Amino acid sequence: MDPPPPRDLYRRGLDLYNRGLFFESHEALEELWRAAPPSERLFLQSLIHFAVAFHHHQRKNPTGAARQLRKALRKLAGYLPAHGGLNTAALYREGQAALGSILQGRPLHTYPALQVPPGAAALF
């Protein structure tokens, strides 16, 4: 069986993330990352780190969540203000706010969204 096209994997990874299925999102994005061109690998790693961070958060592991968010933000910084159809500047700000909340022991009521606006050029 042929692997799904990169565009389908990307959309699936974003959809799973936005539904709060962070572990499954990580799996889909990691599959895409393995075959991605070098210029896209750090960007995809940043999204994977976001997914893993919030998976840790759901599992009540704030230390793991904070560690993964720091990695996500560091890697995403090279792709501001927009990349892959995402508003990466907004994602970066929302990620920083989530990290601050986690470090202060405050609850997260929502997670940063990974939305590709209609008509935006997606990654693949």
pLDDT of residue 118: 73
| Percentage of the residues of the chain whose pLDDT score is greater than 90 | 85
CATH architecture of the region 6-103: Orthogonal Bundle (1.10)
Rg of the chain over Cα atoms, rounded to whole angstroms, equals: 14
The answer for residues whose C-beta is within 8 angstroms of residue 13's C-beta and 6 or more apart is 25, 28, 29, 32, 47, 51
Query: Domain residue spans in the chain?
Result: 6-103
pLDDT-flagged residues of the chain (< 70)? 119-124
